[in-house]
Structure 1
Amino acid sequence: MSVVMQADRRGLGLGLAMLLAAAVLLAVGVSVGSTGLAGLLDARQDPVAWQIVRDIRLPRTLGAWAAGALLGVAGAVAQGLFRNPLADPYLLGSASGAALGVALALVLTGLSPFATEWVVRLGLTGAAFGGAVAGVLLTLVLASGVVHTLRLLLSGVVVGVVLGAARDLVTLANPDILQAMQSFMLGSTGFVGWSACAVMLVLLLPMLAVAWSLGRTLDALALGEATAASLGLPLPAMRAALVGVIALATGASVAQTGLIAFVGLAAPHLVRSLAPVPYGRLVVLSALAGGLLLMAADVLARWLIAPQELPVGVLTGVLGGSYLLWLMHRRSRQGRLS
């Protein structure tokens, strides 16, 4: 019992620390930009500076946290469902489906990739979300449902490759959309506004609730499907619910920010390394970790070469990949020493 209580305390402390760090990064995020901190301090006297803070920096920073939190939840659920620490939210074909949806939308509508009108954003956002969900549905059809986890995993890989190839064909046939597709593939939080924040936060709460309620199922699956079935759990229905969490959380994030690498993969690993907790708590802490990672990457993307910006997906790939490589090296070294 003392070990369980100690793990709960570590998890609670980690959660509070990440919330505090997110609050600090939120303050930093609204102050980072072309006008710098001075623009924030003079916002009450300068209507333009206040508008920049209120309508651009604040929703962008909050949106980065919400998108990262969605990816963190999806990553934790995917790793538990497939019993694979290398599983990520894009494993079911959602990323390739979203990219194909955006490519088709750009071709069929002829929209400018630099347009910022809400109609344009709604069209590309809807295409990305629809493509992500369609990719997951195609995976489910190919896998004949969610009965066999291994078949579902392999189907996701196949669908991802096929839809990725279809996206490349569309792009090659229409080279004028190449720059827009590159921006989507690299990921960006620059177009996130208040409406996007609202959509992601509204979806985040039920996704967290469902994943948390199915935490015992994920704990049982970690012991093997035979063990989970012996406990009398309705595995097909619960797998379907977990796949739904992965699809909706990933689709909502990708639709608003493009493809963000490594956040969904690294967030659960970060939580496990700091506070090993059951899956019910892991998904919540992974959401906080994912939000914190993407928020930090967004701030760095705006600050490193200001007033220009780096693609936030590039930074998450570098930082997340480096962390995972370090973690693997540390574990292999500990294994050799033991």
Structure 2
Amino acid sequence: MMPAGALHPRTLLIVLLAATPLVIWLALQTGELVMSPADLWTPDSLAHQVFVELRLPRLCLTLLAGALLGVTGAAVQAMFRNPLADPSLIGVSAGAGFAAVAMLVLGDAVVSQMGAVALPLSAFVGGLLATGLVFRIGRGVDGVSVTTMLLVGIAINAIAASGISALKYFSDAFTLRQVVFWLMGGLQHQGWQAVWTLMLIALPVLVGLFSQGRILNLLLLGERQAALLGVSVVRCHRILILLSALGVGAVVAVGGMIGFVGLVVPHLVRLLIGPDNRYLLPLAALLGALFLTLADIVARVIISPAEMPLGVVTALVGGPFFLMMIVYRRRGA
């Protein structure tokens, strides 16, 4: 049942779908080079090359990455029954980021042998280990302790930050510059190979998490009640952890540290339509895709002709929103 005053999920879906063509058009038209339809159909023109090799793959990446961050954020919040939970706040992004930076700084031989798979794989493993540790320590006799989970996430973030600082200290000038720009987040230097890699990961993650909507609704009742209703709680948590770590790890590997999308987007959708995860998960994915694409547009125009890192833009939006959520919850209490 929807809460009083909430939108019907179909209404929000129609609004988001109606906004999608406009957002896509803005993303493809934003940049120093002005394009006309005639230029795009001329294969040898500069506009055609910029469109095919730069703007179109970048658009695909922002849509895929935003969808993954939105849906994994919604899944993590539902799993821990806390709207303040987020893959970055509980250490997933930090673990993935540390592993990816370690691969950039120390893994030259591994990267040369494994190629483009090395960075996403290392980020996935790091995110999975961090999530598993948070869940392992945060899980007590009575289920998951949200307070313990957040405290462990803070500790993992601190450990990962110190590890990244140490790796930066011992890296050479070229690697240090590469790591610093990567940590600030951005998708401007990626091409079609990154698109296919992220799509290969995004499709099973999105389908897998969408299929967990009914089970997540039962988990909102509490782990004991869900178990009485036939839910294998431990198995469900393992699936959610695996899919969330895979999705966030892939985004971190491709785009660096892009924070707060998984916090802001699911919370907005929940405020609009209520907590039913059957609708919340797909709508969070769609809104996340549009939100990150709009953030990328802002990153391109705010200090044009230079670009602001995408992670900086999402943090500028997400940080104040997070503070507003905390104040709102305190007043509500």
Q: Same fold (TM over 0.5)?
A: yes
Residue number in structure 1 paired with 2:162: 165
The percentage of counterpart residues that share the same residue type is 34
Instruction: Give the 3 Å change call, closer, same or farther, for CA 243–124 of structure 1 in structure 2.
Output: closer
CA distance in 1, matches of 2:213, 2:287: 18
Alignment of 1:219 onto 2:204: no
2:52: which partner in 1?
A: 54
Output the CA distance in 1 between the equivalents of 2:154 and 2:213.
25
Query: How far did 1:242 drift?
Result: 1.0
Paired amino acid for 2:47: A
Question: CA offsets per residue over residues 186-207 of structure 1, 9 Å max, x none?
Answer: 1101123222222323332322
Runs of 5+ in structure 1 lacking a partner?
112-116
> 1:146 & 1:47 partners in 2: Cα distance?
65
Moved more, 77-86 or 139-148: 139-148
Code of the aligned partner of 2:193: S
CA shift in 2, pair 1:232/1:153, >3 Å: farther
1:269–1:279: structure 2 CA closer, same or farther, 3 Å change rule? same
In the other structure, the counterpart of 1:322 is: 320
Give yes or no for the alignment of 1:136 onto 2:131: yes
Give the letter aligned to residue 85 of structure 1. Answer: P
1:297–1:315 Cα contact (<8 Å) kept: yes
Cα pair 1:76 1:268 within 8 Å, conserved? yes
Task: Determine if the alignment matches structure 1 residue 86 to structure 2 residue 84.
Answer: yes
Are the counterparts in 1 of residues 198 and 251 from structure 2 also a CA contact under 8 Å?
Answer: yes
Amino acid in the other structure paired with 1:108: L
Q: Aligned letter for 2:130?
A: G
Q: Structure 1 stretches (4+) deviating beyond 6 angstroms?
A: 143-147, 330-333
**SS of equivalent residue, structure 1 residue 89:** coil
CA contact (8 A) 1:200 1:253 kept: yes
In the alignment, what sits opposite 1:114? none
User: 1:22 deviation in Å?
Assistant: 2.4
1:261 is paired with a residue whose SS is: coil
Tell me how far 1:101 sits from its aligned partner: 2.2
| TM value normalised by structure 1 | 0.84
Match of 1:66 in 2: 64
Offset, 1:163: 2.7
| Shift, 1:248, TM fit | 0.8
Among 12, 21, 24, the alignment partner of 2:22 is: 24
Aligned length: 326
Asked if the contact 2:41/2:48 (under 8 Å) is kept, the reply is yes
Aligned with 1:36: secondary structure?
coil
> What are the equivalent positions in structure 2 for 1:1-338 lying under 5 Å apart?
10-37=8-35, 42-45=39-42, 47-109=45-107, 123-139=118-134, 148-150=143-145, 154-174=151-171, 176=173, 177-326=175-324, 335=332
Q: State the 1:106 CA deviation.
A: 2.8
Pairwise CA RMSD: 3.2
Distance 1:208 1:108, change over 3 A: closer
Contact 1:90 1:250 in 2 (8 A): no
TM-fit CA distance, 1:286: 0.6
Q: How far apart in 2 are the matches of 1:54 and 1:68?
A: 21
Q: 1:323 to 1:164 in 2, by over 3 A?
A: closer
1:302-322 Cα distance to aligned partner (Å, 9 max, x none)? 112222100111111112233
Q: 8 Å contact 2:124–2:245 — kept in the other structure?
A: no
TM-score by length of 2: 0.85
Q: Is the 8 A contact 1:26 1:62 kept in 2?
A: no
Q: Distance in 2 between matches of 1:146 and 1:205?
A: 35
The whole-number CA distance in structure 2 between the counterparts of 1:22 and 1:189 is: 19
Q: 1:320–1:192: structure 2 CA closer, same or farther, 3 Å change rule? A: same
Distance apart, 1:67 and its partner CA: 0.3
User: In 2, Cα distance between the equivalents of 1:103 and 1:206?
Assistant: 26
Structure 1 residue 241: deviation in Å?
Answer: 0.8
Unpaired stretches in structure 2, ≥5 consecutive residues: none
Contact 2:128 2:241 in 1 (8 A): no
- Specify whether residues 277 and 94 from structure 1 end up closer, same or farther in structure 2 by C-alpha distance, changes over 3 A only: closer
